[in-house]
Amino acid sequence: MSELLRIEDFSFSYRHRNTTISILKKLDILIFPGEVVGLVGESGSGKSTLAKAILRIPDFKYEVSYKGSIYLNGNDLMQLNDTQLDRIRGNEISIIFQDPLSYLNPMFTIHRQIKEVLKHHEIANGIVADEMIRRCLLNVSFNYPDRIMRSYPFELSGGMRQRIMICMAMITRPKLLIADEVTSSLDALIEKEILDNINRLCSDYGTSVLLISHNLPTILKYANRIAIIYFGHIVEIVHVNNAQKGARHPYTKALFSCALAKVKDGVFPFIEGSIPKPHDVIVGCPFHLRNCPRAIDACRTTLPEMESYDEGSFRCHNPYPVEG
Amino acid sequence: MTDNIVKIRGLNKTFIRKTLITRHVEYIYAARNVNLDIPRDSFYGLVGETGSGKTTLGKLILRLIEPDSGSIIFDGIDVTRLSQREIRRIRPMFQVIFQNPQSALNPKQRVKQLIGNPIRFQKKLDSKSVEKEVFRLLDEVQLSAEMAEYFPHQLSGGQIQRVEIARALGLKPKLLVADEPVTSLDASIRGHILNLLLQLKKNREFTVLFIGHDLHIMEKMCDILSVMYKGEIVESGSVKQIFNAPTHKYTKKLVSMRYISD
């Protein structure tokens, strides 16, 4: 099997006031070429941290430490220095964030902004670059690319800005696109438009996608496999066809019934308690603190190991049985 | 004739925005000839996308902003004609919970003050009975009594929203405007708040105007639904009617977008 990205035993932590706070704990994720992997979790579970940690984007205030390895086509990204990583960022792995306005330069026209990417990675220049930008803008459903190229970010609406970001990310034809909550601030109708655009472009270019969202219905619609993250642990990786019925981990089951608002006897499903804070120290499985329906004694003392089966993997002492 | 707690006739509100450099004047029609009847003791839903004017309509009903024209008749009183002094007297009858409770609550007050102060001011009770009322309300929204001493920043998103509900219900309102109360919450906690609202609605007598954009939730919460689009109410009807036989183009699109879970 030749996977595109292999995240292996990856941990991430930062130091704050002489205490080490670990955010991501021993993650293992595989992403195959052309695949869409969804990453779901509640706020504060470490989704965005993972997105930034893959590219080592240094916007953390504190001293940070990485452990483990991330292989892109066999090359360990963690061993690369900044110059080498710079060649990967935006070229082989692109990233789109939730709030496009803070990642677009307000003083540059859209044209100059996108051209910068092409110049930086020495892909194209001059008229060739202009033509590439025009074609790429058409690809993200702009009918009048010339007008868009002349405008500044503030002149565009939220959905349009996000499409500019897609254009910027995809113009280099990356191998992997990380989409970090790209549609969280947009309406349902525009959300569909944006995700359809990403989906179409990525399948055209054969790009894999790491689709990060807290909105499960969207993930279910676009992803091939879903990774569920809770308190910095990947608790389950499940195939999308199998996701609703075949989920083994109690947290996955609970999250699904909450997110899809499956009302039983007029009562909305919910999970007891609140999400643990990053600095909390939890012994055993972190989910037993939230009234896990299948908690046994072992859950309170030891963290379960990742167990694999043919269609996915999970981390639980007492998983739901396979439904026959 | 059904008994309507809120009757809105021909309501208009336009915002004017001047662009920074060119001084070009833009008109934003937040409410355009809105007619709305909210039956007493109903769970009334208001759906629409961002910028469609649903929050503005909510604020107009509460008279937090002044309408350009039209009338809002709340329980037989035309709210738009009252002076600020008179409106203060009837404010306890309509309360609101906002999307972002962290910014709606005073960060310098403890939970017991946040819930107790409105009761003290409006109902003129002595401090002992206010305190008793606070604990009763905390219990009603399923918060422990020790939370009374907490500040808003010590509470989680779900807890703080429950404080907000307790504060609103302490004044025994006839109308509760819930402006996207669960949008900022995680899916796992959202159910808790929605159940609480449904349960409170069952135990007490009041009307809820539930503003939201998640059709999935609206379908299960509300009795009657109105769809807003660009400042206009394009469609109103019972939830069944809207979901099974939408007539307006926009509603059809919205209903088709709804994720089908089974």
Separation between Cα atoms, residue B174 and residue B168, nearest integer Å:
11
B252: nearest CA partner in chain A: A189
Q: What residues in B contact A43, CB-CB < 8 Å?
A: 186
- Report if residue A79 sits inside a domain: no
Residue A253 lies inside a defined structural domain of this protein: yes
- Min Cα distance B30 → chain A (Å) is 17
Chain-chain contact of B259 with A275 (C-beta, under 8 angstroms): no
| Of B192, B198, B259, Cβ closest to residue A217 | B259
| Structure tokens given for A103 | 């990642």
Give every strand in the sheet of A75-76, ordered side by side: A19-31, A5-16, A63-72, A75-76
First to last CA, chain A: 29
Tokens of A81: 């220095």
Whether residue A254 and residue B188 make contact (CB cut-off 8 A), yes or no, is yes
Instruction: Measure A292 CA to nearest chain B CA, in Å.
Output: 13
Domain residues for A287? 248-324
What six digits make up the tokens of B111? Answer: 């939970």
Cβ atoms of B35 and B13 within 8 Å: the answer is no
Angle among Cα A202, A206, A212 to the nearest 5 degrees reads: 45
Residue of chain A whose Cα is closest to the Cα of B157? A274
Token readout for A126 is 């001059």
Give the domains, in start order, of chain B with CATH numbers.
4-257 (3.40.50.300)
> Residue B173 has what pLDDT?
92
ipTM metric: 0.78
For chains A and B, count residue pairs whose Cβ atoms are closer than 8 Å: 73
Do B188 and A187 lie within an 8 Å CB cutoff?
A: no
Q: Is residue A320 part of a domain?
A: yes
Task: Give me B49's structure tokens.
Answer: 């996308």
What is the full per-residue pLDDT of chain A (324 aa) written as tens digits?
Answer: 588 999 999 999 888 888 888 889 989 999 999 999 999 988 888 888 899 889 888 666 778 888 999 999 988 998 988 889 888 988 999 999 988 888 899 999 999 999 999 999 998 888 999 999 999 999 998 999 999 999 999 888 888 999 999 999 999 999 999 999 888 878 777 888 899 999 999 999 999 999 998 888 888 889 999 999 999 999 999 998 888 888 889 999 898 888 887 787 778 888 888 888 888 888 888 888 888 888 888 888 888 888 888 778 999 999 888 865
Q: Which helix (H) or strand (E) holds B157?
A: helix B157-169
- Tokens for A119, please give them: 């110049």
Q: Are strands A233-239 and B224-229 parallel, antiparallel or unpaired?
A: unpaired
Residue A262, domain member (yes or no) = yes
Instruction: Specify whether the CB–CB gap between B106 and B160 falls below 8 A.
Output: no
Cβ-Cβ contacts under 8 Å, A260 against chain B: 216, 259, 261
Q: Which of residues 35-64 of A touch B (CB under 8 A)?
A: 42-43
Contact B156 A274 (CB under 8 A): yes
Give me the torsion for CA of B230, B231, B237, B243, rounded to 10°. Answer: 20
Q: How many domains does chain A have?
A: 1
